[in-house]
Amino acid sequence: MNNIDQGEYTYNTDHEMTILRFESIDGKNEIGMINFYPVHAVNLNNTNLLVAGDNKGYASYLFEKLKNPSGTLSGQGAFVAAFGQSNEGDVSPNLMGPKCIDTGLPCEFYTSTCNGRSEKYLYDKAQVFINGNGIVNFRHTYVDMQTINVSSHFTSTGRNETTCQAALGYAFAAGTTDGPGDFDFTQSANSTNIFWAICIIIFS
């Protein structure tokens, strides 16, 4: 594929954080926030067998603990903090360990400047751009991704094409840095070997 819009982006991944702040109609009470930042919730790797909200859930827990009265049980407070997912792509928090985005130094619990302060600062400084008292609506649709028409502007053949059936390559079996797969598959591999070729024939 030829992405003709790739020159419009400074980075390979999205560095932007978006926060929606919600207040009561009279503006006297904070009632919640929704945060969108593109990163996978994979701080807990695939050896964890417990149900957990990972980094998104923990961020919600800490923010609600900060905004609700002391002693409020988790999930019972009037203030609701949601850390939603956006276009995370392949963005992992674990490649080189946790580091502060402003200093580049390893995070340290008591003194790091990135210890939750950026989100709090953005929330406190948030301005109201949209005033309204209507309901929040949504749309959801299913799309057959194997029959999408693709313009010649985006194809390597220079012709109008269509998408095809999905396929899992060898690199998929390698898993991720956060949760490696089994056997000897490696990330970014785009070729096979005789052993796996025979396995495909046997099991297909």
Model confidence pLDDT, tens digit, residues 139-157: 899 989 888 999 998 888 9
Q: Is 6 left (phi over 0), alpha (psi -120 to 50) or beta?
A: alpha
Residue 195's φ and ψ, nearest 5 degrees, are -60, -50
pLDDT of 90 reads 65
Read off the pLDDT of residues 38-49 as tens digits, 9 standing for 90 and up.
Answer: 888 877 767 778
Scanning the structure block, which residue is given the tokens 């953005």?
Answer: 122
Domain-by-domain residue ranges, the chain? 6-124, 167-204
The predicted model scores a pTM of: 0.56
Query: Which one from 60, 70, 74, 92 is the annotated catalytic residue?
Result: 92
Q: Is 151 left (phi over 0), alpha (psi -120 to 50) or beta?
A: beta
Integer Cα distance of 151 and 56 in angstroms? 37
Is 24 designated active site? no
pLDDT beyond 50 at 109? no
